[in-house]
Amino acid sequence: MISAFSDSALAAFRAAYPDAHAPLTHQLVGHPLLTVDAIAALAERLPESFVEYNPGKLPLGITAEDTPRPALSITETIRTIGENGSWMVLKNVERDPAYGALLDEALEPLRAIVEPLTGPMEHREAFIFLTSPGSVTPFHMDPEHNILLQIQGGKVMTVFPSGDDALVPPEKSEAFAMGGHRNLVWDETFAASGIEVPLEPGDAILVPVKAPHFVRNGNRVSISFSITWRSERSVAEGELHSFNRLLREKGLPLVNVSGTPEKQKVARLGYRVMRKIAG
């Protein structure tokens, strides 16, 4: 069994989790499941809906509706990723047994650090990103605890603090919690609060739940492996923003979403009751 993280990477993870981002290192470079050929074969096995394609030459801020549709098939896109100026994500690759085992192996050493802080690691998912040279992944946030492991090529992730209402207005958090799109509105005034983290093969980054980020790929094809999980904290945060969406629609006072939403038992109960009443 390959250990994804060294003791020093685990120490860096421990110092940052769950609320701060952290540059880490990993040991999965060269793993046979993470080559272009292995990924192309996986894409053929996965249901079509698990493969998301995005053209790479995009502005930092773009809506889901404005994102152009693909011109090539999934396999063609992967095999020509060096030239076609795109980025793709293979979602929920853990549903494939070999990749499920790889995810479990990678997450296992983190469990002893994660569980005392944020409860059981739930809803474990893995994603593979394949990116053409020069592609940009626009400004967005994700709902999970995430470690992005750089496998091949280089990229720079610019990461911003989570929980900043200037970057992610409460209305956006509420829409996101109800299933809204991950992309965020970009404003040049945000640039000063971003931290650039270069990622070369063997590097990784811990991205906190809903920490906004964008990614600029380097001049080579990039492969990144993302390992994610949810926690009681991340689920509670989503519930409270969903609750606020319902309260806002009814013109009622909103609840404060604290840094430890899992402890806001009364508000979470309120959400469940209100959701039940709403049917």
Alpha-carbon span 174 to 243, nearest angstrom: 8
Tell me how far, at minimum, the Cβ of 230 lies from Fe ion, in Å: 15
Nearer to Fe ion (CB atom), residue 39 or residue 141: 141
Tell me how far, at minimum, the Cβ of 54 lies from Fe ion, in Å: 12
Burial of 215 (0-12, 13-18, 19+ CB in 10 A): buried
Nearer to Fe ion (CB atom), residue 142 or residue 237: 142
Tell me how far, at minimum, the Cβ of 142 lies from Fe ion, in Å: 4
Q: Is the peptide bond before 198 cis (omega within 30 degrees of 0)?
A: no
Q: Which of residues 107-166 bind Fe ion (CB under 5 A)?
A: 142
Tell me how far, at minimum, the Cβ of 207 lies from Fe ion, in Å: 7
Tell me how far, at minimum, the Cβ of 182 lies from Fe ion, in Å: 7
Nearer to Fe ion (CB atom), residue 142 or residue 174: 142
Instruction: Tally Cβ neighbours within 10 Å of residue 171.
Output: 14
Alpha-carbon span 152 to 223, nearest angstrom: 5
Tell me how far, at minimum, the Cβ of 87 lies from Fe ion, in Å: 11
Alpha-carbon span 202 to 102, nearest angstrom: 16
Nearer to Fe ion (CB atom), residue 137 or residue 244: 137
Nearer to Fe ion (CB atom), residue 140 or residue 233: 140
CA distances from 88 to 13, 26, 44, 139 (A): 27, 22, 14, 16
Tell me how far, at minimum, the Cβ of 112 lies from Fe ion, in Å: 26
Contact flag: residue 262 with Fe ion (CB under 5 A): no
# of chain residues touching Fe ion (CB under 5 A): 1
Going through the chain in order, the beta strands assigned E by DSSP cover 22-25, 51-55, 86-90, 122-131, 136-140, 145-152, 155-159, 195-199, 203-207, 213-217, 222-230
Nearer to Fe ion (CB atom), residue 142 or residue 239: 142
Nearer to Fe ion (CB atom), residue 91 or residue 248: 91
**Helix orientation angle between 232-249 and 111-118, rounded to the nearest 10 degrees:** 40
Q: Are 130 and 82 in contact (CB under 8 A)?
A: no
Beta bridge partners of 199: 155
Which value, in Å, is the radius of gyration of the alpha carbons in the chain?
19
Residues that bind Fe ion (CB under 5 A): 142
